[in-house]
């Protein structure tokens, strides 16, 4: 039987006025509990990285360690809850919208972002036979590994706006570029569960007195009525229905090979 290991990251404490969030650390802890309580992970095999610990270098080192230690038959999970953003696509054009989606580490500087290209290079090192689930509860997170709702006054958007100069450079680029380096879903080495599509914001809100990411909250709730053996595709369909029914304007995404989508949650390949 293979090993089960995970990294869960939550960042609420960002530098700068008005940048803090309030539900990301709660998300990271909740995902860790879910993996232990429902899917056979041991707490000692889950690394929790919160707030000031969650620098770019620390996040990438944790991902490197998870990938480097993976062996055929293992089950791995990597969870990020925090701000997302985008920057102009650099180097060889591989994004049809002229943007690289990015995760925002604790430093929150645009020279310290974790780009989709950074993630892709690492995930391409996964050996065959590893079940790897990448969960991103951040804005503009759909395709992040693939190169605020109306009437909800308490909701906050998990998005770090690019400076005007960066937005202008993206606007000047053609949106019709070929995706040269991007991976088709069947070529992906992982399954991506994303809070929103690549062109959408993602929200956090109060649920029963606890601040949570909308996606993370409804993902956990959807498991309560799913029953054992639910597949990724079935689970994410339930999550999307719950998010829409609650009135949030974000569409959770599931991306990866079709066969992997049909596997039970956090099961070996």
Active site positions, annotated: 83, 139
Look at the block and give the residue holding tokens 């053609």. Answer: 174
Residue 183 gets which letter from DSSP?
P
Closest CA to 54 of 88, 15, 85, 86: 15
Distances in whole angstroms, Cα of residue 149 to Cα of each of 50, 155, 241, 251: 26, 7, 15, 12
Which DSSP helix (H) or strand (E) runs through 220?
helix 214-224
CB 132 within 8 A of CB 78: yes
**Rounded (5°) CA angle 105-111-115:** 60
Q: Is 227 exposed, middle or buried (0-12, 13-18, 19+ CB in 10 A)?
A: exposed
Closest CA to 143 of 82, 102, 186: 102
- 3-class SS at 56? helix
Which pair of structure tokens corresponds to residue 114?
């974790």
CB 70 within 8 A of CB 125: no
Q: Is 208 exposed, middle or buried (0-12, 13-18, 19+ CB in 10 A)?
A: exposed
């Amino acid at each position: 039987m293979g090993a089960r290991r995970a990294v869960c990251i939550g960042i609420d404490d960002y530098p700068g006025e008005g940048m803090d969030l309030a539900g990301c650390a709660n998300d990271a802890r909740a995902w860790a509990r879910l993996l232990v309580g429902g899917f056979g992970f041991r707490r000692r095999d889950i690394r929790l990285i919160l707030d000031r610990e969650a620098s770019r270098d620390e996040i990438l080192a944790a991902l490197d360690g998870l990938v480097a230690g993976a062996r055929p038959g293992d089950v791995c999970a990597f969870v990020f809850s925090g701000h997302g953003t985008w920057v102009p696509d650099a180097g060889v054009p591989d994004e049809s919208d002229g943007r690289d989606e990015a995760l925002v580490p604790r430093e929150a500087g645009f020279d310290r972002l974790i780009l989709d290209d950074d993630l892709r290079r690492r995930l391409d090192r996964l050996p065959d036979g590893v079940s790897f689930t990448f969960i991103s509860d951040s804005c503009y997170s759909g395709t992040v590994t693939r190169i605020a709702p109306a009437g909800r006054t308490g909701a906050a958007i998990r998005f770090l706006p690019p400076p005007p100069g960066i937005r202008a450079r993206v606007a000047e680029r053609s949106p019709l570029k070929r995706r040269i380096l991007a991976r088709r879903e069947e070529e992906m080495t992982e399954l991506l569960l994303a809070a929103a599509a690549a062109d959408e914001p993602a929200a956090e809100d109060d649920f029963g007195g606890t601040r949570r990411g909308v996606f993370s909250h409804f993902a956990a709730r959807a498991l309560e009525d799913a029953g054992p053996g639910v597949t990724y595709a079935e689970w994410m369909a339930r999550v999307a229905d719950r998010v829409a029914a609650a009135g949030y304007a974000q569409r959770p995404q599931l991306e990866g090979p079709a066969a992997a989508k049909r596997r039970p949650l956090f099961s070996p390949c």
